[in-house]
Amino acid sequence: MISFINLNMLLADILRVSMNTCPKKMINGPCGGYIGTLCEDRSLKCVWILAYFAASKRGSLDKMFTLKLDPGFRVNSYRPVARRRRGAVDMTLSGRSFLVYEYTPKPYSGPLDIGDEISKLVGVYSGVDFVDNPGGYPIPSSLPYAVAAKSIYRDLHVSIQITARNRDRSQVVSDVLAASLAGLDAIVATTGDLQDGGKGVWDLDAPRIIYLARLVLDLGLDHMGRRVGIGGEPMAIAGSININAEPLEPEILKIRVKIDAGAEFFITQPVVDIDRLYRFYRMARAILGNIDEIPIMIGIIPITSRRIASFFENKVGIKIPEKILEILRREKIDRDAIIKANLDLIESNLKRISHNAFYISAFGDHSLGVEIGKVVRSIIG
């Protein structure tokens, strides 16, 4: 159920505080960057996690975790429903192997180079997802790369990420329209990371991006009710899940919020500890009930440098395995050893789970991405 927000409605005080103190101006619960009661900006407390603990004591979590739209959404009564179709949603639910590679353009590599680079991935991967300024670091727009890839490989699943950071709702509408007109298969909607120094400007959070995208795709309308398209467009919308979040319950409750907004499948943050994945599914079944019916792609990313390890520990809440830490502590990192340790970990983890859909990143190291994809294929088929 959508709860349209004004200052006189439920949670108004929390929302007002959040808009003034949350760096990302979240109104639909915390982003995935909290650790305990700390914000992604570790100098701040997360107002939403503090509110979560209070609501938990009052027994009002269901009221807290409902989809909220700001007054800028003049179209606010639409109720998106899951649309089952061929593509990422059906592939994930079908049980057939489905591997998507997160593509980060190499420095000074333009869209015209995409054919040769993607050719190394085709055959190993079912699709490619183009990043949007990961970690707040500016890189070329994902759209021209994705359009070039789709024009060359028509049968390849091609998607783009759209983050809320430094993008207002009119720009989101433009990007969704452009992606749809180019025949892309999906959009991955995220709130986005804080830039260095806690910088960034947020007009929306991920649930509102998802809802806005569904307005554009389903109805051909923007947030103001203006006609911007024909509607009935088949592109799918994905949301993200951080299974490493602590406490974990708010992240699970946000899945329901994103589904109410119109998300049709989900991609997890990197899974390094399979016991945490088991814990996520146990809690999600208890809270949501139907988690096994929700298409979920499991994230896989190798930890090949101290910088990546620090980012995962401090931003995502991942505990780095000791075998990998031991190599990273050396004065000079042995590249062959760190890659082997990561591939061994991935293989060991995959043998402990029964899953068919994976989202794999190698932080722009496409050769390593191919190696990881082959390891996954060798286990899941």
Place 80 in a pLDDT band, splitting at 50, 70 and 90.
very high
Whole-number Å distance between alpha carbons of 302 and 98: 19
Check whether 1 has a pLDDT greater than 70.
no
Q: Check whether 367 has a pLDDT greater than 50.
A: yes
**Percentages of the chain per state (helix, strand, coil), in multiples of 5:** 45, 15, 40
pLDDT of residue 197: 62
- Res 13: pLDDT: 55
Average pLDDT, the chain: 90
Is residue 303 within 8 A of residue 320, CB to CB? The reply is: yes
pLDDT of residue 137: 75
Contact 12, 6 (CB under 8 A): yes
Compute the average pLDDT of residues 150-162: 96
Torsion of CA 29, 31, 36, 38, to 10 degrees: -100
**What are 281's two structure tokens?**
């599914």
CB atoms within 10 A of CB 197: 8
pLDDT computed for residue 380 by the predictor: 92
What mean pLDDT do residues 297-321 have? 91
Going by pLDDT thresholds of 50, 70 and 90, the confidence category of residue 316 is: confident
Whether residue 82 is predicted with pLDDT greater than 50 in this model: the reply is: yes
Q: What is the pLDDT of residue 240?
A: 96
Q: What does the pLDDT look like over 30-77, one tens digit per residue? A: 999 899 999 988 889 999 999 999 999 988 898 889 999 999 999 999
Q: Within the chain, what is the greatest distance between any pair of CA atoms?
A: 59
d(CA 160, CA 105): 13
Question: For residue 18, what pLDDT is reported?
Answer: 57
What are all long-range contacts of 344-350, with beta carbons under 8 Å and residues at least 24 apart? 345/272, 345/321, 346/300, 346/302, 346/372, 346/375, 346/376, 347/375, 347/379, 349/271, 349/272, 349/274, 350/375, 350/376, 350/379, 350/380
Stretch 80-100: mean pLDDT: 84
Counted residue by residue, the chain has a size of 381
User: CATH no. for residue 358?
Assistant: 3.20.20.220
3-state secondary structure of 61: helix
d(CA 49, CA 36): 8
Q: In Å, what is the CA distance from 284 to each residue of 253, 268, 291, 342, 344?
A: 8, 13, 6, 28, 28
Please count the structural domains in the chain: 1
**pLDDT of 236-272, one tens digit each?**
999 999 999 999 999 999 999 999 999 999 999 999 9
pLDDT of 7 > 60? The answer is: no
Q: Could you report the per-residue pLDDT of 227-238, keeping only the tens digit for each?
A: 999 999 999 999
Domain that holds residue 181: 2-380
Examine the pLDDT at 4 and tell me if it is beyond 80.
Answer: no
Region 293-302 average pLDDT = 95
Least confident of 5-9, 77-81, 143-147, 150-154: 5-9
CA-nearest of 106, 120, 192 to 153 is 120
Residue 258 to residues 31, 96, 261, Cα–Cα distance (Å): 12, 25, 5
